[in-house]
Amino acid sequence: MSTTDKELRVGMVGYAFMGAAHSQAWRTVNRVFDLPARARMALICGRDTAKVADAADTLGWDAYTTDWRDLINRDDIDVVDICTPGDSHAEIALAALAAGKHVLCEKPLANSVEEARAMTAAADVARAAGVRSMCGFNYRRVPAVTMMRQLVADGRLGVIRHVRATYLQDWIVDPQFPLVWRLQKDRAGSGALGDIGAHIIDLTQFVTGQRISGVSAVTETFVKERPLPAESSGLAASVDGHTAPTGTVTVDDAAVFVARLDGGALATYEASRFATGRKNALRVEINGSLGSVVFDLERLNELEFYDATRPAVEQGFNRILVTEGEHPYMSAWWPPGHIIGYEHSFTHEMRDFIEAVATGVDPTPSFADALQVQLVLDAVARSAELGSSWAEVEPTLTAATV
């Protein structure tokens, strides 16, 4: 536990799934890691007074407000944590940076390249005044993923030739599942592509140190009309013999694309929320001239590593249990062999963010890194719209670290 007197007072906007995950991390981080500053859960914001009051009590925040502008304008807030749908990321982040607040923003950074460029430009200006910003791609902080990156960086895989990445879910397979905000382009920006495809784009670029330079893609929306949530109204359709209000799904249900990385590797990506039986199945395999490595989120404490430099009689995929104290982040947790879970990736995210802010270092992934992911998403969408024709990924026009 940290003994520092320095405090970072956090204000968080949003209290649903990501809000709960971030709250757990803010509650835990200083109880596990010895850091140069302590996080204080000062204020949580949500539009519904009763719900945000309950969230403040349940999740452990000191106070609540229903106006994010009030949160940003307060002198007793140092960090703004944005956990809202994508359509509000840009407005909140731009205001927070202008007010001199450090910003942590959930992925994807924005709903469009234009918004992401504006946010990155604002972050560059704020950095000159010592204000830091980061995008929350939490899977970078899974210890096995960080170790995967180290294996590649240390040359253990040799020249990277192939990347295969899939992220599969099935939570909207039922055509009667309602038209929630994640299925509306004006709220979410895109569907499976931006929601879960963004994760595997960032993760593979992080692990390989290479950027996607061009893509050929296809996307599909399998269920084009869905029942509106009870409080909504809209078009009508017959469901089980009854007339029920429906609305149009305006995002993709699945996206598949091939890509070339700027280091020469060939890659394939698949993101679907229609993979029946798959709940949160993220898998990445990297093949190189000297070996291969595989990560599976459903076995997030493990890596499969093939070392082709060993004698032929000893070769084979070896299971590495990433729980040793020498493994990334693991010295703060339990004895070897005692596994950690999904929520720990967020605790590690807050750990890195606090340390960067407190020591005056730029955290990663930066807004520029997140903009680069947004440019890949844009290239995928453009390719799909043009019948899978090859689409080059536009340059970021600003520094990105991958």
Inform me whether the pLDDT recorded for 69 exceeds 80: yes
**Model confidence band, residue 195 (pLDDT cutoffs 50, 70, 90):** very high
Residue 60 DSSP one-character state = T
**Model confidence band, residue 397 (pLDDT cutoffs 50, 70, 90):** confident
Inform me whether the pLDDT recorded for 2 exceeds 60: no
Inform me whether the pLDDT recorded for 6 exceeds 90: yes
Q: Mind listing the pLDDT tens digit for each residue in 151-191?
A: 999 999 999 999 999 999 999 999 999 999 999 999 999 99
Q: Mind listing the pLDDT tens digit for each residue in 208-222?
A: 999 999 999 999 999
- Contact between 227 and 176 under an 8 Å Cβ cutoff? The reply is yes
How many C-beta neighbours within 10 Å does residue 24 have?
A: 17
Backbone phi and psi for residue 242, each to the nearest 5 degrees, phi listed first: -115, 150
* Cα Rg of the chain (Å, integer): 21
How many C-beta neighbours within 10 Å does residue 109 have?
A: 37
| Contacts with 352 (C-beta within 8 Å, 6 or more apart), sequence order | 141, 363, 364
Query: How far apart (Å, rounded) are the C-alpha atoms in residues 168 and 173?
Result: 12
Task: Give residue 239's pLDDT.
Answer: 45
Inform me whether the pLDDT recorded for 192 exceeds 60: yes
Phi-psi region of 277 (alpha: psi -120 to 50; beta: other; left: phi over 0): left
The strand pair at 7-13 and 281-288 is best described as unpaired
Query: How far apart (Å, rounded) are the C-alpha atoms in residues 50 and 164?
Result: 45
**Model confidence band, residue 1 (pLDDT cutoffs 50, 70, 90):** very low
Q: Mind listing the pLDDT tens digit for each residue in 378-393?
A: 999 999 999 999 999 9
* Coil, strand or helix at 74: coil
**In the chain, how long is the greatest CA-to-CA distance?**
68
Please give the single-letter amino acid code of residue 15: Y
Task: Give residue 242's pLDDT.
Answer: 54
- Contact between 357 and 79 under an 8 Å Cβ cutoff? The reply is yes
